[in-house]
């Protein structure tokens, strides 16, 4: 009896755990279109990072680990720098802009050999 009960109990616990775990879909996320700022001669297919803004969370996916990345966010109207950071050995960067005012901003991403720029709006 115990031999049949133990696998049944284990299966029940595993099913309950999997029922309550789910991934949060980024329904309101908007993609930021990035343009290459540098003139680079490519011998292979260029890889452009992906940037998304969801509410006040800015997420940047560099698609592979890079040795260094500098991220700068400027107010598009005044040119004032509202955020700057340099990160080492990362493939994703998350920035919370909850304290910033609503408006248009410019995102600049500086990689070791390339630079990208894009505009977004904070609602």
Per-residue model confidence as pLDDT tens digits over 91-112 = 999 999 998 999 999 999 999 8
Task: DSSP letter for 49, please.
Answer: P
Q: Strand, coil or helix: what is 10?
A: helix
Phi, psi dihedrals of residue 79, rounded to the nearest 5°: 80, 5
pLDDT at 117 over 60: yes
Distances (CA, A) of 18 to 13, 21, 26: 9, 5, 21
Phi, psi dihedrals of residue 53, rounded to the nearest 5°: -120, 125
pLDDT, tens digit (0-9, with 9 covering 90-100), for 37-88: 776 566 666 678 999 999 899 999 999 999 999 999 999 999 999 999 999 9
The pLDDT of residue 73 is 96
The pLDDT of residue 48 is 86
Q: What are the structural domain ranges in the chain?
A: 27-122
Q: What is the pTM of this model?
A: 0.70
Q: Take residue 26 and report the two structure tokens written for it.
A: 């980024």
What is the architecture of the domain spanning 27-122? Sandwich (2.60)
Tell me if 104 sits within 8 A of 123, measured CB to CB. Answer: no
The pLDDT of residue 65 is 92
């Amino acid at each position: 009896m115990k031999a049949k009960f133990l696998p049944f109990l284990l299966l029940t616990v595993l099913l309950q755990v999997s029922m309550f775990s789910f991934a949060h879909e980024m329904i309101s996320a908007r993609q930021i279109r990035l343009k290459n700022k540098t003139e680079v001669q490519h011998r292979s297919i260029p890889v452009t990072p992906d940037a998304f803004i969801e509410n006040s969370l800015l997420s940047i996916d560099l698609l592979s680990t890079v040795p260094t990345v500098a991220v700068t966010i400027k107010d598009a109207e005044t040119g004032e720098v509202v955020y700057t950071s340099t990160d080492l050995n990362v493939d994703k960067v998350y920035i919370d802009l909850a304290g910033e005012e609503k408006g248009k901003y410019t995102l600049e991403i500086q990689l070791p050999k390339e630079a990208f720029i894009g505009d977004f709006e904070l609602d």
